[in-house]
Amino acid sequence: MLFLFNDRVLRLTGNADFVINSGIPATAVARYTLADSILATQTAVMEVPNLAVESPLKAAALAWLIASRSDANAVLFIAPPKCRKPQEVGFRLATVALTTLGSLMALQEAGKLNSGIINNSVWQSFAA
C-alpha cells in the first residue's frame, strides 16, 4: 500500500507485527482509535518534525495505524515553531487516488518529487 506522509511516499507492507517491531507497543496497536493514532503521530512529529525522512520506519508504522483506522492514505502533519504540546501539531488526512500516489512515488524515485508537486496533486484539490 502506498501512503503519503508529508513529503514522502511510503510503501506500507506487513501487518500489526510490523508496527510492533517498529517500537509501538502491542497495546497501542490493539486499542488505539483513529484519534489516538493521530495524537501519537502529532507527538512523534513534535519531537522529530521531519519524521518521514529522519525515521521512515516509525513514520510508516504510524501511517499504518492511521490507515488501518480510516480511509486515509495521505497525511500532512506540521509542527509550528516552538511547539509545546502535541495538540499544537496541525494535521490533515486525505484519501488520494492510487494512480496519484503511484505517480508521486515514481517522481520520488527519480529524485523529482517536491512539496509544490505534492501540494498541487493532493492538498490543493481538497482545499476547494
Q: Tell me the pLDDT tens digit for each residue of 39-83.
A: 999 999 999 999 999 999 999 999 999 999 999 999 999 999 999
Domain count, the chain: 1
Confidence of residue 27 (pLDDT cuts 50, 70, 90): confident
> How buried is 65 (Cβ within 10 angstroms: 0-12 exposed, 13-18 middle, 19+ buried)?
buried
**Rounded to two decimals, what is the model's pTM?**
0.91
Domain that holds residue 30: 2-127
Contact call for residues 27 and 123 (beta carbons, < 8 A):
no
